[in-house]
Structure 1
């Protein structure tokens, strides 16, 4: 069954809005696991707009499921990841001031850089996942640089799902098939929600993990965190 990793960035955003420690990020992570999440995802950015670098150390002490740290593998991020040693590092080519991630890696153009990054992760026993657009060529590039997994960037799928779900999923099926063919693990994330998740999970064979934050935290405002996590897990069952 596809695993659900809960991205708790938005919880940190709410906390930071008042400058205190409410909601407490560590407690939320522990509760997400208690409510059934199979992983915790965070995305520390250089400006610490949501996840603070200290949060990473604090969460490492308590997360008992898979700890997944996302980010652009610049020097400060890599120093952090190599010190904390999460189960998985997801490499995302986000610009420093971007509101959110909006594109995958060109694994061909950035082959040399990513090869060095992945080598450093492997030396620490950290699984590497490369954030890519649903393009078999980019998946092939990820395999060539030694990545363990790819994470398919699903915002285009989510945007087009309500207009034509068959067309929206087409490229993802091809990219997913290529990943499986090449022996890569397969993750997905960005704008997946209770409306579009089930279809995605049914159509993409061999999907190991989805990372969901924004929609899940928004739904939790209405349904409660425990119930919401269970609702998302049911979409994947």
Structure 2
């Protein structure tokens, strides 16, 4: 079964829009787990426009499932992760002003940098994953960094699927096959939704975890958080 990790950035965005502490990010994470979610993901950015660095510390004692912290490994982020010690750190090459993640790592160009960062996290018993595009050479490059897992950047798949082009899954399936042969764990995320998640899951061998935030929260506005989480779990089973 593929684990569902719920990205709660959008809950922090809503909280920050009015100040105060409503909705409460920690309580939402507790509820996500109570409703069946198998992980909680946060992606703090340097300007703290949604998840704040303090949130990462506040969530630590309350997340008893998988705790995944995503972000660009700038010194401030590395320091945060080493202090919090989540289950997993997912390295994403975000520009500081990026609205959302929009590209995977060039694992060949940044090989030496990634090796050093990943080594430090693994020495602290933190599982590592790196965000990658579905390109075989980048999967091979990821293997050379020493990472435990990759996270396939799924925006292109989601775009193609919405247009009715199911062939958009092919590079992902091929990269998943390669990753499995290389001994890399496979995660996935970005624009996955109730509409496309089952098709993606059925075509990606060895898919360990998906991280879903924007779509899940938007769907929950109509269908309810508990119901939506259960719907994802059924599609992933």
Instruction: State the TM bucket, normalised to the shorter chain.
Output: over 0.9
Name 1:116's counterpart in structure 2. 116
**Tell me, what secondary structure is at the counterpart of 1:46?**
coil
Q: CA deviation at 1:167?
A: 1.6
Runs of 4+ in structure 1 deviating by more than 3 angstroms, as ranges, are: none
Q: CA deviation at 1:234?
A: 1.2
Q: CA deviation at 1:138?
A: 0.6
Name 1:197's counterpart in structure 2. 197
CA distance, structure 2, for counterparts of residue 102 and residue 145 of structure 1: 21
**Tell me, what secondary structure is at the counterpart of 2:45?**
coil
Note if 1:171 corresponds to 2:171: yes
CA distance, structure 1, for counterparts of residue 103 and residue 223 of structure 2: 31
CA distance, structure 2, for counterparts of residue 52 and residue 162 of structure 1: 33
Name 2:211's counterpart in structure 1. 211
Note if 1:49 corresponds to 2:42: no
Name 2:143's counterpart in structure 1. 143
Give deviations 1:136-158, integer Å, cap 9, x for gaps.
Answer: 11111111110000000000000
CA distance, structure 2, for counterparts of residue 118 and residue 199 of structure 1: 32
Once the two structures are superposed, the pairs formed by residues 180-191 of structure 1 within 5 Å of their partners are 180-191=180-191
Q: CA deviation at 1:164?
A: 4.0
CA distance, structure 2, for counterparts of residue 182 and residue 71 of structure 1: 25
Cα RMSD (Å): 0.6
CA distance, structure 2, for counterparts of residue 137 and residue 20 of structure 1: 46
TM-score normalized by the length of structure 1: 0.99
Q: What are the ranges of 5 or more consecutive residues in structure 1 without an aligned counterpart?
A: none
Name 2:72's counterpart in structure 1. 72
Contact conserved, 2:160 with 2:166, CA < 8 A, in 1? no
TM-score normalized by the length of structure 2: 0.99
Q: What are the ranges of 5 or more consecutive residues in structure 2 without an aligned counterpart?
A: none
